Structure 1
C-alpha cells in the first residue's frame, strides 16, 4: 500500500462532508466532533459525532474517559449521549474467492450468495489485543471488541466505514465526493466480537458494499442505510418533551425523559399552556397533518 493512500487520508477527505451532513441534521451547535488520538486504542473509533447530555458537563478529555469507563463496564445503563455516531474507517481490497485458504469462509460466502469464482472485497478487522510496555502487557480489548462494547451504550450508533473504492481506483475528486461513496456497516449487539482471536475480515460481495458478512465462519452483517433526520414527535412524545423541559426548568436538576408519565392533568389547558410557556424563546413548534 502506498503512503499516499491509507485510512487517515480517506477519513480526512470526507470529514468536511460529514460535518455538513450532521449540521443539517442536528444544527451546528448541538453536536460535537470527537477525534481520538492515543485514546483510539481504548475506545475503538477514529471519528465520532455526538450530542453529549448537558447534565454531564463533559470536556473532551472527560468525554473520552467516560467512553473508556463505559466500554469496560457494559453492565452500566447510563448514557452520556442525546445521540451519537461513531465510525472506524477500514480500507477494502479484492480477493479471489476460489483461492481463499480457509474452507469455512469460502463455503460460507458461497452459501450466502457470493459468486464461487468472483472477486469479493474485504476489510481487515483489528481483532488482536495490542501489546504495550515493550510487549510485557496486553490491552484489555482489541479495537473490534471495543467497538462491539461501545455499541451496547444507549443512543450510541457504531459503524465500520469503508470506501466504495480501493487504491487502484483512487479517491473521487473533491468536487465529486459524497457520503454515498462510503459503506456504513453497523456494529450491533449481534456482531461477533471475535474475542481472543486472530485477525478476521468484513466481506462484501462487491465494491459497492453489497451483502456484508462477518468472517471467519460467515455471519450476515446488517446493511447500513443513509442517516436520515430524526422522526417527528408523536403527540404523546411532544407532551412528554414539553413537560420534561418544564420540570427541568423548575427544579434545575436532571430529568429522566423515559420515566415521565402523562396524566389527565397534563392535558388541562392551563397546565399545558404553562408547559409551553417554559419553552425557550427560540423554540419552534410545527404541526403536521396526514390528511
Structure 2
C-alpha cells in the first residue's frame, strides 16, 4: 500500500534534493539541517538549513528555544545566523472554475485586478492561519503557523518560503531519479507578506500549476515566485569592507575571520580609501568593478 499523499510525504520526498543543493553550494562552509518536531507549533517551518554565527554554540534544543524567543520578540537586532533558509510545505489543489469561488472579494479581485481568467482553472494552497491547540488540546499556539513564518522572516539572516508542488495527488510525485527543486513553487515570506491573522480561511493562489501570478488571499496581494534555488549571501557589504581592510593592512588571521573585530571608521568609508582597498585585492579575487575609476 502506497504512503498517504500529504505535506509530510512531499517534504520527505524532496529532503534529499534540498540537501544536495545546499551541499553543492555550501560544501566549503558547511551548514546544519533542522527538522522541528513538537517545536513546529512555535517556529512554523518544516525544514531548515542554516549556518550559525560562530559566537552561538547551539544544541538542537537550544536552537529552537532561541528561535521561539526571536519569533515572539521580533525587535531584537542580533541573529545567530550567517544565513538560514526555512521552508513550509503546502499541498496544491485545483480550483475547477474561478468564477464559482464563494468568497466574492477573492473572486472579484483575482479576476478584476490580478487578471485571472474567470472560467479557467486556478490552483491554490491552503494556509494555516488559525491558532490551533496542541499538547492534546491543553495548550494553544502563540501564533498561527503562517503568522509564525511572517515573524520568522523578520529575523536577521533568515530566508523563509512556502513550498508547493507543481503536481497534484492525481499525478503523483515524480520518481526519485527525476526529482528536482524546480518541481516546487517556492514563494518567499517577506516583511510585506500579510499575516492574515483574522481567523478566517486563507490561501496562496496561482493562475496555473507552475506558479504564475502568485497571490496571497483572501484579501488579495501579490506574492513573488522564486524561480531559482536560493544562493546565500555569504558576506555582508560591511564584512566585505572589513575583509578588504584586513587585506590592505596586512592583518593576517585565521581562515575563518571574526570580522566584528575589524573596526571601520569614517575614513574607511571614503571613496578614495575604498578604492585603495579595492585595488589591493589579489588579481585572482573575483569582485565586480562597477565602473569605478582606476586610481593606481
TM-score bracket for the superposition, by shorter chain length:
0.7 to 0.9
Residue 187 (structure 1) aligned with residue 211 (structure 2): no
SS at match of 1:227: coil
SS at match of 1:159: strand
**Deviation of the 1:260 alpha carbon:** 3.1
Separation (CA, whole Å) in 2 of partners of 1:183 and 1:105: 21
Aligned residue pairs, count: 278
Q: Tell me if the contact between 2:5 and 2:169 (Cα under 8 Å) persists in the aligned partners.
A: yes
So what's the TM-score if we normalise by structure 2?
A: 0.82
Change (3 A) 1:254 1:241: closer
> Match for residue 103 of structure 1?
104
Gaps of 5+ in 1: 277-284
> Match for residue 229 of structure 2?
227
Change (3 A) 1:108 1:171: same
CA RMSD of aligned residues (A): 3.5
Change (3 A) 1:243 1:101: same
SS at match of 2:30: coil
Aligned residue runs from structure 1 range 59-78, under 5 A: 59-78=59-78
> Match for residue 285 of structure 2?
286
Aligned residue runs from structure 1 range 1-291, under 5 A: 4-27=4-27, 30-95=30-95, 96-111=97-112, 112-132=114-134, 135=137, 137-230=139-232, 238-241=240-243, 243=245, 255-256=259-260, 260-261=264-265, 263=267, 286-287=285-286
Change (3 A) 1:35 1:244: farther
Separation (CA, whole Å) in 2 of partners of 1:4 and 1:235: 46
Change (3 A) 1:263 1:82: same
Deviates more, 1:159-168 or 1:194-203: 194-203
Larger proportion of helix: 1
Gaps of 5+ in 2: 292-296
Report runs of 4+ in structure 1 exceeding 6 Å deviation.
231-236, 244-248
**Deviation of the 1:99 alpha carbon:** 1.4
Separation (CA, whole Å) in 2 of partners of 1:12 and 1:175: 14
So what's the TM-score if we normalise by structure 1?
A: 0.83
SS at match of 2:61: helix
Q: Tell me if the contact between 1:85 and 1:158 (Cα under 8 Å) persists in the aligned partners.
A: yes
Superimposed CA distance per residue, residues 144-182 of structure 1 (whole angstroms, 9 cap, x where no aligned partner):
000000000111110000000010111111121111100
